[in-house]
Amino acid sequence: MISTKAKKQIDAWVAKYPEGRQSSAVMEALKIVQAENDNSLTSDSIQAVADYLDMPGIAAAEVATFYENYNHKPVGKYTIRFCHNISCMLNGADDLIAHLEKKIGVKTGDVTPDGLVNVKKVECLGACVGAPMFQIGDQYYENLTADKIDEIVDGLK
Amino acid sequence: MADIEIEIDGNVVNAKAGEMLIAVTDREGISVPRFCYHKKLSIAANCRMCLVDVEGAPKPQPACSTPIADGMKIHTQNEKAKASQKAVMEFLLINHPLDCPICDQGGECELQDVAMDYGSDVSRFTEGKRIVADSDIGALIQTDMTRCIHCTRCVRFGAEVAGIMEMGGTGRGEDMKIEPFLEEGIQSELSGNMIDVCPVGALTSKPFRYELRSWQMNAVSNIARHDLVGSSIYTQTYKGKVKRIVAKDNESVNETWISDRDRFSYEGLSHENRLLAPQIKVEGKWQEVEWNVALDFALRGLANNVFNARQADQLGALASNTATLEEFHLLQKILREVGSENIDHRLNIKDLNNAISLESNIKLAGLEGVDHALVIGSNLRLEQPMISHRLRKANLSGASVDVINAMAFDFNYRLNSENIIPPHQTAATLAGVLKSVLQSAQAEIPEYLSDIEVSDVATQLANKLSDSDNSVIVLGEHVINNPQASSIANLINEIAQQTNSTTLNLSASGNSTAANLSCFVPGKGGLDVNAMLAADLKAYILLDVYPQYDFHNSVQAVESLSNDDTFVISLNSFKDDAVAQYSNVLLPIASFYETSGSHVNVEGKVQSFSAAVNAPSDAKPAWKVLKVLADLLELPGFHYADSTQVTTEVMHQSHKQHVHDESIDVKVKRGINIIWQKSPYAVDVLSRHAASLQATKIGQINSASMNKATAKKLEVTQDDKYLGVPVVVSESVANNCVFVNSNHSTGGQS
Amino acid sequence: MNEVCFKNLDQKDPWSLKTYEANGGYSVWRKILKGELTPEQIIDELKTSGLRGRGGAGFPTGLKWSFMPRNADMQKYVVCNSDEGEPGTCKDRDILRYNPHSVIEGMAIGGFVMNATKGYNYIRGEFMEPFYRFEDALKEAYAAGLLGENLDGSSVSFDLYAHLGAGAYICGEETALLESLEGKKGQPRFKPPFPANIGLFGMPTTINNTESFASVPDILANGGQWFADIGVENSGGCKLFSVTGHVNEPANFEVPMGLPFKDLLEMAGGIREGRTLKAVIPGGSSTPVLTAEAAMAMTMDYDGIEKAGSMLGAGSVIIMDDSTCMVETLTRLAHFYYDESCGQCTPCREGTGWLYRVLKRIMDGNGKADDIDLLMGVQDKIMGNTICALGDAAAMPVESFLRCFREEFEYYIEHGKSMVKG
Ligand SMILES: Cc1cc2nc3c(=O)[nH]c(=O)nc-3n(C[C@H](O)[C@H](O)[C@H](O)COP(=O)(O)O)c2cc1C
Ligand code: SF4
Ligand code: SF4
Ligand code: FES
Ligand code: FES
């Protein structure tokens, strides 16, 4: 369920915490396992993480369902996390989200038929001076305009 | 902690600094509403119902999590406190279905109670109530999560008391959902307590569902008799039937919890297999008859087979461990009055010359305070759930626990060491422990230990016991038929004395302590159960005996009892084919909760109870049947008006200490040893008939576990049957050992 | 401007150890390693400096550090709060990206003062660029012998690790953050006990905001008085303000406390062409909104903003011009708190959803005449009744929006459409 490579990555996180506190690494472990499994988690993968970190399955499930950054159903290869909170909203995020939905042909929450992208509306990402903005993977894209969005989306492969 | 004075609602109250305010108000009888607070669980402070006004604090403070300080002035009822309480109540109710008329908790719902006092009109909420989908969490607990108020008592119960975190709060905010993670649902042997802790009707009893409202029922204080604890319970009855069982607080016995076995076994009471009318066997055919006819028939049988020939020693009495103290007493008294010492309750012991004799000299509550425990031969959680819970508490507050078992079991806390040792080496291991203890104390080594080599394990176990100030050695059920059972008990006794440890003997469960207290064992010249059966006695009185489950060698027992010239009077609460086969008279008796009597728990505490309901149909309490039988036999001294007079008599009877073999054999035996244990929910006839318990995971335990090497020797593989039980090959079992958990007894092979 | 946290901003590779040290970085830490500074001296300097917590609550940092049982014989921790998630706030991200060593040095100093040999920086899960910057800086610091055990032969040890969140605003609340660091869901703990007694892994712990830690090295290098003098009474030093919304040049500005709001607005390029100022949220979405009039008269310091009727919070100044529909804006904020409530306490779990749904209904054209009273009532019942301040944070915008812009809500309810946008 968890690859050797993933285990190594998880172990590196576990090493940051005191002995016996390996469950501190659960958030990263879930992310690592999610990344290896088409960007979403299943009961089995959550249980596997729990087992690996020697914690109750339900405790890992609590974490996996509490935080935003885990998916429990299939998502696209790229999730466009579009901020729609106040500063971005004041700077036109809503119109741009509508533009983006039109551009990719699916609504927020749905995945494009080719499985490439989906849009998710998220709360403030802490880049408000660059509003409006969104995040894809590790990368922030700020001061968005319709043109800029087109260019970014066209570049997704 | 210093004594301080605080002021609550204008009255001066003494308390200890640092106590939580709610503990003080509870003690003083000042009512502060609460949902998440539970005196046996950690504080969560999440419901916010207990907000009160503390002078000087800008915000209202939660009574459950506000430590008091000298001079604090608290108002539980002023406008500020009331406003907060009302606000919280309103929030709790907006998403609550308010379906009290159809809710199983109706009438005993903490939310409903508090709402009466605080709830204002909640019709202002028009945004649509939250509906939560339910999941099936098993046979015992019904969920209705739309009613959940997210107090997390059930979650904390699992993590803190049951010791397995099964329920959790998934999601967040308004979407937070209290649920178990996996489809298998709830597995804990204490799970039913979640029903008691849940303040609303989100978790209710599944077997009880939709039956009745609490106010329609009568609650009778009672004692559960399935184990060595004798937990306090309320039997809730309606129209002569036990409808539900809930825990009753009894701090020194069961605190506030009960096991699932104690809670749900009552279902068996209304099983169709109940024996309802007296029956006699005439020319091989059973006839239902009146009581007087049956008793008459019984007397004639006894006269013919025993008394007419003046052969009192041809009469035997056997009882299962579920009988009450009074029943044991009356039956042994009858036997002794007519001149027979053939009395026994130890039906599951293969060789009574090799029986365990070990006293228990620690209180249940005292178990929490030990700093070390050595557990031998026990799957404690499933055998004695409440004792396991006490030990777990000790462990959580720092006690170490070592285990010697023939198989690895699921302990719900971290063991210091788990030693998986073949049964044939148990005595030798303990001998090593004793030798190591003696060596460290530079004491003389007795002859029988001279050849013993002290292993590292033995040294470690010994050091732990010697180094602890307050250790206990716990002996469980697995050792009862060990070829060195008696030596093991004697070794434990020696080790305990040398290390100043207390001992706890859990090797015989149910009401076996009462059987011993009433001398329900053979006296001088009497035969033990195995000897009786071998001797083919001419007559028996059997008290709620079910041969396939109760006798060690059920095949031999049935055979012997079925002899043509053996007259068997059976008092049973349930019908049973084998019983029908060998008996001549069947007398229907009351089961649990249908009779008054007493249970004696492992610490010797005698707990009496009265009947909560009448026995069904023509069944009668066994103590009454035995008294009438004695009267008909014209025996002196049976003039009891009620069972408490019997109790008083037992308590005043001089208690003969029977001698036991003190020799110790420490040689390692050869061959494969079978540990045969009844499944946790098959320990007595009532549990076996409780459908919901049987439907749980624990109820379905039925396996002969052995490791690969042993399986090879026995020429079986996974899923074969071994002695009729499915084989499970697992390396968690010691070598040369088969660990059987089954709902019937061996038939004598082991 | 840009004198402390941002002082390297326009230099080459501002994030590098080289740049940091060229600007006097780690001089305080090295002094400590040489035994030239005592914990007491440091606490005194911090108290003199008037540094108050930059995470939102504004608690004096020197005082907080003095609460730690530094002599208790157990592991102690310092934790940095880089969970930055308050809408409108984006300063910590830039500190981590451009001046990570100041956070490291600040935390190390805190560790020394409080006798805590281990630290964690909790960085929000989305901040991957800042996370990598911080990790690189950690590597540099370890390589330079600035972190680790018995540093420079002294008895001083400090190990520092970065931890990543996974998307939950509530983890910015310090005790939720500790829960999260322990691998649990981020549900705030009730207090007391406070983290200084029972914190991370049950041990004494001090938590400060990224900017608070980043300010410490310069304060100690230049003296507490120097910092205090930059600011005004009760608000020592300078502070990062994130100016966002309807301004021409939204940006982070590190300016002296006490700066008039209108000057700050001007620094951000002023209101968009052809528009006028309508409202300002001065400290992040949780702080009460102010009318243009109140804002224009305000100075940017703790007392000044409080006098105007709001709070300095995290220094996140959200500017709204006259095109802004206040009903829509409040609905968006209400959605945020509804979305981010951890769900453990009743008033917040149930109340935030209630607030949002009523507002949403108004936006959908189904408002009722008594909805304003209802909203006022609900926010009042949340206020003060919850475990953590998120409950209050959800209540305050509702109260202030309705108080300052009531007529817009009445209009929306009556006409089923926005007074501003039509
Ligand atoms: C809902 C909520 C969110 C918070 N978010 C943050 C945050 O993102 N960053 C932060 O530093 N403090 C945040 N805080 C404040 C912290 O609880 C804490 O006061 C702060 O980290 C202490 O550091 P300081 O004294 O240096 O300000 C938040 C508080 C609440 C109630
Ligand atoms: S199910 Fe019952 S006990 Fe559990 S959280 Fe909900 S209301 Fe509380
Ligand atoms: S106020 Fe809200 S966020 Fe804070 S603890 Fe309570 S429910 Fe959680
Ligand atoms: S509001 Fe969009 S990044 Fe902060
Ligand atoms: S009882 Fe105090 S908050 Fe729930």
> What's the confidence (pLDDT) of residue B655?
64
> What's the confidence (pLDDT) of residue B116?
81
- Name chain B contacts of C179, Cβ cutoff 8 Å: none
> Chains contacting B with at least 3 CB pairs below 8 Å?
A, C
Token pair listed for C74: 């157990």
Of the bound ligands, which one is closest to the alpha carbon of residue B152? 2
Lowest mean pLDDT among B51-55, B644-648, C184-188: B644-648
Q: What gap in Å lies between CA C21 and CA C13, rounded to an integer?
A: 12
Token pair listed for B24: 């003080």
> What's the confidence (pLDDT) of residue B597?
96
| Cβ(A61) – ligand 4 distance below 6 Å | no
Q: Quick check: B96 and B150 in contact, CB under 8 A? A: no
Position C301 pLDDT exceeds 90:
yes
Return the residue of C nearest to A125 by Cα: C85
Residue A129 to residue C245, Cβ atoms within 8 A: no
CA atoms within 13 A on the CB side of B367: 30
Mean pLDDT of chain C, nearest integer? 97
| Cβ(B52) – ligand 5 distance below 6 Å | no
pLDDT tens-digit readout, B320-358:
999 999 999 999 999 999 999 999 999 999 999 999 999
Dihedral sign for Cα atoms in the order C27, C32, C34, C40: positive
pLDDT band at B127 (very low <50, low <70, confident <90, very high): confident
Token pair listed for C364: 């959908």
Can you give B254-275 as a three-state secondary structure string?
A: CECCCCHHHHHHHHHHHCCCEC
| Cβ(B62) – ligand 5 distance below 6 Å | yes
Longest Cα–Cα distance in chain A: 51
For B40-80, the DSSP string reads TS-----S-TTEEEETT-SS-EEGGG-B--TT-EEESSSHH
Cβ within 8 Å of residue B344, ≥6 positions away: B316, B317, B318, B352, B520, B521, B522, B527, B528, B529, B532
Position B271 pLDDT exceeds 60:
yes
Position B103 pLDDT exceeds 90:
no
Position B121 pLDDT exceeds 60:
no
Mutate to test the interface with C, among A80, A128, A138 (most CBs of C within 10 A): A128
The alpha-carbon gap from C44 to the nearest alpha carbon of chain A, in Å, equals 32
**B29 CA distance to ligand 4 centroid (A)?**
52
| Cβ(C352) – ligand 3 distance below 6 Å | no
Beta bridge mates, B20 = B67
> What's the confidence (pLDDT) of residue C147?
98
Closest Cβ–Cβ partner in B44, B87, B174 for C347 = B87
Token pair listed for C76: 């102690």
Residue B172 to residue A47, Cβ atoms within 8 A: no
- Name chain B contacts of C185, Cβ cutoff 8 Å: 169, 172
The alpha-carbon gap from B57 to the nearest alpha carbon of chain C, in Å, equals 11
Mutate to test the interface with B, among A54, A58, A71 (most CBs of B within 10 A): A58
Percent of residues, chain A, with pLDDT higher than 90:
99
Tokens 């107090």 appear where?
B151
For residue B156, report the phi and psi dihedrals to the nearest 5 degrees.
-70, -35
Can you give C240-257 as a three-state secondary structure string?
A: EEEEEECECCCEEEEEEC
Q: What gap in Å lies between CA B154 and CA B144, rounded to an integer?
A: 14
Token pair listed for B323: 């009988």
The alpha-carbon gap from A122 to the nearest alpha carbon of chain C, in Å, equals 9
Q: How much is the average pLDDT of C145-168? A: 96
- Name chain A contacts of C127, Cβ cutoff 8 Å: 126
The alpha-carbon gap from B169 to the nearest alpha carbon of chain C, in Å, equals 9
Return the residue of A nearest to B174 by Cα: A66
Looking at the CA of residue B152, tell me the nearest atom of ligand 2: 5
Position B598 pLDDT exceeds 60:
yes
> What's the confidence (pLDDT) of residue B750?
55
pLDDT band at C422 (very low <50, low <70, confident <90, very high): confident
- Name chain A contacts of B181, Cβ cutoff 8 Å: 43, 46-47, 56-58, 61
> What's the confidence (pLDDT) of residue B669?
85
Q: What gap in Å lies between CA B717 and CA B712, rounded to an integer?
A: 8
pLDDT band at B744 (very low <50, low <70, confident <90, very high): confident
Q: How crowded is residue B678: how many other Cβ atoms within 10 Å of its Cβ?
A: 23
Token pair listed for C210: 């990224």
Q: If DSSP codes are grouped into helix, strand and coil, which group holds residue B610?
A: coil
> What's the confidence (pLDDT) of residue B97?
87
For B374-387, the DSSP string reads EEES--HHHHSHHH
For residue B580, report the phi and psi dihedrals to the nearest 5 degrees.
-65, -35
CA C114 to chain CA centroid, Å, is 22
Query: How many CB pairs (< 8 A) connect A and B?
Result: 34
Residue C285 to residue A86, Cβ atoms within 8 A: yes
| Cβ(A144) – ligand 4 distance below 6 Å | no
Query: How many CB pairs (< 8 A) connect A and C?
Result: 146
The full length of chain C comes to: 422
Could you tell me the strand order of the sheet in which B567-572 lies? B285-288, B279-282, B585-588, B567-572, B539-543, B315-319, B343-344
> What's the confidence (pLDDT) of residue A112?
97
Q: How much is the average pLDDT of B33-56? A: 96
Looking at the CA of residue C58, tell me the nearest atom of ligand 1: 27
Residue C409 burial (C-beta neighbours within 10 Å; 0-12, 13-18, 19+): buried
Position B658 pLDDT exceeds 70:
no
The residue to mutate among B47, B74, B155, having the most atoms of ligand 5 within 8 angstroms of its beta carbon, is B47
- Name chain B contacts of C351, Cβ cutoff 8 Å: 91
Q: Give the strand pairing for B232-238 and B218-223.
A: antiparallel
Position A136 pLDDT exceeds 80:
yes
Position C239 pLDDT exceeds 70:
yes
pLDDT band at C2 (very low <50, low <70, confident <90, very high): confident
pLDDT tens-digit readout, B713-728:
999 999 899 999 999 9
> What's the confidence (pLDDT) of residue B748?
60
Tokens 């505490």 appear where?
B605
Buried b (16+ CB within 10 A) or exposed e, B315-335: bbbbbbbbbbbbbbbbbbbbb
pLDDT tens-digit readout, B190-239:
999 999 999 999 999 999 987 778 788 889 999 999 999 999 999 999 99
pLDDT tens-digit readout, C263-299:
999 999 999 989 999 999 999 999 999 999 999 999 9
Q: What gap in Å lies between CA C209 and CA C80, rounded to an integer?
A: 6
Tokens 């508090």 appear where?
B114
Q: What gap in Å lies between CA B75 and CA C381, rounded to an integer?
A: 19
The residue to mutate among C350, C378, C390, having the most atoms of ligand 3 within 8 angstroms of its beta carbon, is C390
Residue A27 to residue C166, Cβ atoms within 8 A: yes
Residue C128 to residue A138, Cβ atoms within 8 A: yes
Token pair listed for B394: 């000790």
The alpha-carbon gap from B181 to the nearest alpha carbon of chain A, in Å, equals 5
Atom 3 of ligand 2, nearest CA residue: B198
pLDDT band at A46 (very low <50, low <70, confident <90, very high): very high
The alpha-carbon gap from A44 to the nearest alpha carbon of chain B, in Å, equals 9
Cis omega (within 30 of 0) on the bond before B636?
no
The residue to mutate among B198, B204, B205, having the most atoms of ligand 2 within 8 angstroms of its beta carbon, is B198
Residue B168 to residue A61, Cβ atoms within 8 A: yes
| Cβ(C390) – ligand 1 distance below 6 Å | yes
A44 versus B210: which is more confidently predicted?
Answer: A44
Q: How much is the average pLDDT of A14-22? A: 97
> What's the confidence (pLDDT) of residue B286?
97
State which amino acid sits at residue B543.
L
Mean pLDDT of chain B, nearest integer? 93
- Name chain C contacts of B149, Cβ cutoff 8 Å: 346
Residue B486 burial (C-beta neighbours within 10 Å; 0-12, 13-18, 19+): buried
| Cβ(C349) – ligand 3 distance below 6 Å | yes
Position B657 pLDDT exceeds 70:
no
Position C401 pLDDT exceeds 70:
yes
Whether A149 has its CB under 8 Å from any CB of chain C: the answer is no
Whether A156 has its CB under 8 Å from any CB of chain C: the answer is no
- Name chain B contacts of C336, Cβ cutoff 8 Å: none
Position B659 pLDDT exceeds 70:
no
pLDDT band at B605 (very low <50, low <70, confident <90, very high): very high
Q: If DSSP codes are grouped into helix, strand and coil, which group holds residue C32?
A: helix
- What's the Cα-to-Cα distance from B382 to each of B205, B375, B509, B737, rounded to whole Å? 21, 14, 12, 20
Token pair listed for B665: 């054999």
The alpha-carbon gap from B259 to the nearest alpha carbon of chain C, in Å, equals 29
Token pair listed for B25: 């108000």
For C127-174, the DSSP string reads -HHHHHHHHHHHHHHHHTTSSBSSGGGSS--BEEEEEE--S-GGGGSH
- What's the Cα-to-Cα distance from B109 to each of A55, B146, B658, rounded to whole Å? 34, 15, 52
> What's the confidence (pLDDT) of residue B746?
67
